[in-house]
Amino acid sequence: MKKEIHPNYEKSIVECACGNKWETKSSISSIKVELCSACHPFFTGRQKLIDTAGRVDKFRARVTAAKESRDQLDSKKVKKMERAAAKSKEEADSK
């Protein structure tokens, strides 16, 4: 092997978001992960929601805003139809 072209392979600490830590070997001295075998639903058998950067909240806000917008459009359509029905009724009464 050529010298000084390969990274140093040394002990490394892996730290999970749940607080679990373990030691392994890597070219990186410290590794941070979001999930590990101690907290992953596949291994634990229980569901856990991990919200990274508020993505779930952003999605729920977007869905709520879309529903409100749709409701406003529906109410406008209903009012427009009521006005058209009233106008056609006036025209029918005047004949």
- Taking the model in full, what pTM does it have? 0.42
Note whether 39 and 18 are within 8 A (CB): yes
* The pLDDT value given to residue 49: 64
Question: According to CATH, what is the number of the domain 1-49?
Answer: 4.10.80.400
Q: pLDDT class for 92, splitting at 50, 70, 90?
A: confident
Domain locations in the chain as residue ranges: 1-49, 51-95
Give how far Cα 20 sits from Cα of 35, 38, 89, Å: 9, 7, 73
pLDDT in tens, 17-57: 889 999 999 999 899 998 888 887 777 777 666 666 778 88
Comparison of pLDDT for 23 and 88, the residue scoring more = 23
